[in-house]
Structure 1
Amino acid sequence: MYNLCIIKPNKNAFSETFIQEHINRLAGNKTVLYGGAFPVYDNEGKFLIKSKLGILSYLIQKRILKKTSIKVRTDALVTYFKTQKTDVVLAEYGMVGAMVTEACQLAGVPLVIHFHGADVHHRATVASYFALYQKAFKYASYFVAVSTDMVEALKQLGAPPDKIILAPCGVDTTKFTQVDVLNAGPAFLAIGRFVEKKSPDSVVKAFKLVHQKFPDATLTMVGQGPLFEAIQTMVEQLGLNQSVNLTGVLKTEQIRELMAKSRCFVQHSVTAKNGDMEGTPVTILEAGSSGLPIVSTLHAGIKEAVVNGKTGYLVAEHDIEGMAEKMMLFAANAKFAEQVGSAGREHILKNYDISYSIAKLNKALKRSITGN
């Protein structure tokens, strides 16, 4: 059994369930580090830098001198790898992988970097880390992409094609099981952060058109984010207070309960002005696994997760009227929604069960250690 160190940027983030799945499901004796683009804490919340003088030196260099390469921090990570006898590192997000490449190299530990979305597409982020990415592309064993669009983006950035592995995050299809779409009312469900690339305003505007023809239709939007208050205001201004429910962040169990009461899942993902894009949204996979028909956009990994015209409908980004038109098809016909949703579950079972992505990751991690 090998020793796997998983490095993630955040201690806890409600939108990063895919990272927790890696922690729960991947093989190996696992340790977890976190603390931003470069880890400074272990899984018990203790500093990797052990001396008070070292911590002071680190804080001065980071917060006052604004340094990105800090020797005392790198040395602490190298020491941690050696003390824990780490056999391989899985870095969650490209920025994290780029930052820890030097420490992995100094410790002689193989590195696998899992990209997720903004780390490949957000222009400012890519520009800031571009030089470090090039070093990571040379050293790391593998780079995991979650969509074919991301595979191509990584190639454009300079990642060696033979090191890129396509492995969408996947979904636990035993937890997200077929719901009773046929007996659900015209209830639409959207789940995701309230940020530009999720375009929650487009969802509300499309629903307004649906609501004009189907007054009994409802929309539940789960999540939080910088656009939350603006969406609250929009809902009020459009007179949709009685039909749109903004729940905030919910637990997985609560989300499953909502899916069981819904007829259709909606998400209007777009490319943000700063270039940020989706990978393959886990909520799309969860909805598909639940047998909900999906109305979304021709965007990133969604184009593969949803078979347009078979398991749902995909419209052009910012096509609000087109989205409303497809939503109305499901609002009008529960039987049709059930048929499309059932096809969606079959597609997810065949292609996106989490066991597939975990198997690919396990194989990559093992091969990075053995070299074959």
Structure 2
Amino acid sequence: MRAAIATGEYHLGGETFINRHIEHLFGGNTVVVCGRFRGDNPYGKPYFVRRDGLSGRDIMVAPWWLLRNRLEHGTSRLPFGEAKDALVKFLRDERVDVVLAEFGTQALALAPLANALDIPIFTYFRGTDASKAIRTERMRSAYRKMMPRLAGVFSVSRFLLDNLAKHGITHPNSTVIPSGVDIRRFAPQAKVPLSFLAVGRFVEKKAPMTTLRAFATATRDLPDARLDFIGDGPLLEPTRALAEELGVSDKLRFHGAQPHNTVRDRLMSTQFFMQHSITARDGNTEGLPTAIQEAMACGCITVSTRHAGIPEAIDEGETGFLVEENDEDGFAEAIASAIAVPDLPAMSARARHVAEERFDNHVLLKVLERHIQDALLLTPSGADQRLKRAPA
């Protein structure tokens, strides 16, 4: 089976879950449809760039198509004109049997075309696309129109599916499959006592300054405690300034953005992982953070929040500790509780065991393939009808 993986940008090193699909889904029998090509094709895949510029003819007819697509489908993202013809040719030339649109917003652009070509299309909700993206009725309406066009829906967490359902956006074939982690590469090593790590963009949703203040409070009498921050973003410098203000700069190291291998190496020897995720003012939420899954695979004890899909990963008091969003005092208490666990190696081992049971991405990839194949068995025409499809 040959799958087209539809994504916004290709290649993004940080999108490990999408990259795994591109490299390994159905034995790597994949092509890529992207909105933007970033100049790197590490897997040597055939790819098509949807936004590679409009021809003169398409520019002339663009206003008509944008209006028509907005009225009919609730979105103006759909390809049209010569760009659409080129995409149709690509999908046919590459003999694509199924489309997996990473993020619901990608499915909006491709579902009508896939239907016209009789190519089953699935989408994978991961966070922003099922939180911030649905704050407007226009987008909610577009999703409602899209759902009947899909052969199935996947999500990294039950939270995201429930969030969509609150707005009447549902699909009868919906399945929760976490993004997962390579548990063979992310594995525990000897832990450095009182080592803490926070990984992620310095943005509102990650609340880095709340994390810092809670750490400073919880480790006030622990001079050997150390917190490493990996990531960059608009709140990086304010967080550095706060560290100076609190007088804890000697306990902190800011590493900036780092390659995935560097994150892995740090996680393997870290004792406590912290992520104070919150719902941003624009409605943006997590799905189920990959960093938490990776931390558990490395045997880190996680201190986080009851946010989005995080409670679906952390068993409170067994593999980590959770508090409400924006509860800085509670977060400090949770950090102190983690430090005071009587048998830290046992809790670390439980975290690793849960990661092995729930988040092995090799197993989860097979689960995804099976769900796609099972859904296609219910498709009236079947994938073997691809060559008989009429032009869109």
Q: Shared fold (TM-score greater than 0.5)? A: yes
Show structure 1 runs of 5+ residues with no match: none
Q: Contact 2:303–2:320 (CA<8 Å) still a contact in 1? A: yes
Aligned residue in 2 for 1:345: 352
How is 1:80-229 mapped onto 2 (pairs within 5 angstroms)? 80-122=90-132, 127-181=137-191, 184-229=192-237
8 Å contact kept, 2:126–2:156? yes
Deviation at 1:126, TM superposition (A): 5.4
User: Helix, strand or coil for the counterpart of 1:172?
Assistant: coil
- 1:276 is matched by which residue type in structure 2? N
CA distance in 2, matches of 1:24, 1:326: 39
Structure 2 partner of 1:74: 84
Say if 1:269 and 1:317, in contact at 8 Å, map to a contact too: yes
Output the aligned Cα RMSD.
Answer: 2.6
How does 1:332-371 map onto structure 2 within 5 Å? 332=340, 336-371=343-378
Give the residue type in structure 1 aligned to 2:343.
F
Q: Name 1:12's counterpart in structure 2.
A: 11
Q: Distance in 2 between matches of 1:97 and 1:118?
A: 14
C-alpha displacement at 1:159, in angstroms? 3.8
Alpha-carbon separation, structure 1, partners of 2:103 and 2:19:
14
In the TM superposition, 1:254-293 aligns within 5 A as 254-293=262-301
Q: Using structure 2 for the length normalisation, give the TM-score.
A: 0.84
- Contact 1:118-1:276 within 8 A present in 2 as well: yes
Partner of 2:322, secondary structure, is strand
Closer/same/farther in 2, CA of residues 59 and 159 from structure 1, 3 Å limit = same
Shift of 1:365: 2.2
Residue 189 of structure 1 contacts residue 265 of structure 1 at CA under 8 Å; is this kept in 2? yes
Aligned counterparts of 1:235 and 1:113: Cα–Cα separation in 2: 42
1:35 aligns to what SS in structure 2? strand
Amino acid at match of 1:175: R
Between the two proteins, what is the percent identity of the paired residues? 29
TM-score (norm 1): 0.89
Deviates more, 1:140-149 or 1:205-214: 205-214
Amino acid at match of 1:34: C
What is the distance in 1 between the residues matched to 2:369 and 2:88?
23
Preserved contact between residue 189 and residue 264 of structure 1 (Cα < 8 Å): yes
Code of the residue aligned with 2:166 in structure 1: it is: Q
1:31 partner SS: strand
Alignment of 1:241 with 2:241, yes or no, is no
Alignment partners' CA distance in 2, 1:371 and 1:225: 45
1:157 match: secondary structure: coil
Equivalenced residue count is 361
Partners of 1:145 and 1:166 within 8 A in 2: yes
- Distance change (3 Å), C-alpha of 1:315 and 1:168: same
The answer as to whether partners of 1:285 and 1:305 remain within 8 angstroms in 2 is: yes
Alignment partner of 2:368: what SS? helix
Specify whether residues 34 and 324 from structure 1 end up closer, same or farther in structure 2 by C-alpha distance, changes over 3 A only.
same
Question: How far has the Cα of 1:36 moved from its partner?
Answer: 5.4
Matches of 1:235 and 1:344, distance apart in 2 = 30
